[in-house]
Amino acid sequence: MNYFHLDILYNFYWRKTLKLQLFILPLYLTLLIFPLTCGPSNLKKTGKNIPTSAIVLFVFGDVKTGDARIKTGDLLHSGTEVVVGRKSGCDLQVRDADSSIMIRLHENTSYQLTARLVGKTTEFKSRLDHGMAQFRIDKMTTSEQVKISTPTSIASVRGTRFDMQVDSTGNTKTTVYEGAVAARPSIQELDDLPPDLIARSLTFDNAVTSLDKHEKVIEAGMTLTIEKKDSDALLESSPKLKTVLENPEIKELRRKTDLTPEQAQKAASSVDISVSEEKREEMKRSLEKGSVNKPKKIDEDEMKKNLKLYDNMIAIEKNKLETQETASQAVKERNAASRTQIMERISEIMHKPVESLKLKNGKILNGVILQQGADFVVLTPEGRQLVRSSEVAEFKF
């Protein structure tokens, strides 16, 4: 074999080796980066937002979505913020759930309903920014979950009667009267991010998993307050997580509902590349060290009194809620049959008893009665009625 033949063999071998290297290098980089950005344990938690709606069963006083006042029988769709003013109230029922999910909003409350499909499970998610809401959830199915988020708490429901109150400082008090609720502290800057982004990022997913370790189960007759200072302390304990969450590009994604899988993956990759494995482990240890309050027992008389308040939260059968027309009719029939309970609700909101006016024409008006100058305003399930003092024969307490 002469030098000419050797040269040919060398060039052939070199070209083959180079092609193999060019093939292996991108594959190696992909295998290196892939676990950082979208490991299988994360991707199984991704899902998609789905439409949902609630029917307004009862509304009283100043209750709005945006600038529009809502009315009994209205439909409220995914993401609609309901704002309840002073001495006002609103009862809602989720239309799309196989479970019976009812929400009672008290005065000075901000509330929002959304839904998400994760695998074969539908998550109905309530957001309570401030104020108070009562929840009555019956006939819970295995294919549905109910979660409630506040500025300082995430609660998962297991079929129950309970209320949640968010005070002016952000502290969240959860009290259970029947069934059980699991609650954990929330870092709002983290939990407000799109679920798809959290699921695709090892950094964010690990942080949420660490927070889950603080979960407390609140049984019937117990109450738990998660304080804002404890949630703040958890974030302060992990400077690297705080730095990542303060990134302007990440802050812009909070409460974003239209993030595409590609956008979520890009943001997750960017976050995970910026946080080393060592820093992730340090973050995990810091978040798991934090502490929150333990559930406490509530007074037995208070327990019995508040549990009775759920008796007038009467749900409508799902098959009657399929269209807005049938739903509106079902609401009218329900409210007509529950007139006494609705009057009790108005009395509770106004902090005044139900009284009667006997008119000179013999008619008797029952309701919460307010004096307006020399005249009267009677508040009933049908609305407000102004009655001139000249029309009144007798005022009955």
CA–CA separation, 82 and 87 (whole Å): 15
What is the pLDDT, as a whole number, of residue 47? 84
pTM for the complete prediction? 0.85
Segments of the chain scoring below 70 in pLDDT: 1-45, 397
What is the pLDDT, as a whole number, of residue 312? 87
Which residues are CB-neighbours of 193 under 8 A, at least 6 positions away? Answer: 204, 250, 253, 254
Per-residue pLDDT reduced to its tens digit, 75-106: 999 999 999 999 999 999 999 999 999 999 99
Q: Which of 371, 346, 344 lies closest to 357 in space, CA to CA?
A: 371
Domain boundaries, the chain: 3-38, 48-312, 352-396
> Residues 67, 328, 112, CA angle at the centre, nearest 5°?
40
Which residues are CB-neighbours of 349 under 8 A, at least 6 positions away? Answer: 60, 61, 87, 88, 89, 106, 107
Secondary structure, 3-state, the chain: CCHHHHHHHHHHHHHHHHHHHHHHHHHHHHHHHHHHHHCHHHHCCCCEEECCEEEEEEEECCEEECCEECCCCCEEECCCEEEECCCCEEEEEECCCCCEEEEEECCCEEEEEEEEEECCEEEEEEEEEEEEEEEEEECCCCCEEEEEECCCEEEEECCCEEEEEECCCCCEEEEEEECEEEEEECCHHHHCCCHHHHHHCHHHHHHHHHHHCCCEEEECCEEEEECHHHHHHHHHCCHHHHHHHCCHHHHCCCCCCCCCHHHHHHHHHHHHHHCCHHHHHHHHHHHHHCCCCCCEECCHHHHHHHHHHHHHCCCCCHHHHCCHHHHHHHHHHHHHHCHHHHHHHHHHHHCCCCEEEEECCCCEEEEEEEEECCEEEEEECCEEEEECHHHEEEEEC
What is the pLDDT, as a whole number, of residue 22? 47
CATH topology of domain 48-312: Jelly Rolls (2.60.120)
CATH topology of domain 352-396: SH3 type barrels. (2.30.30)
What is the pLDDT, as a whole number, of residue 291? 81
What is the pLDDT, as a whole number, of residue 238? 94
How many CB atoms are located within 10 Å of the residue 205 CB? 20
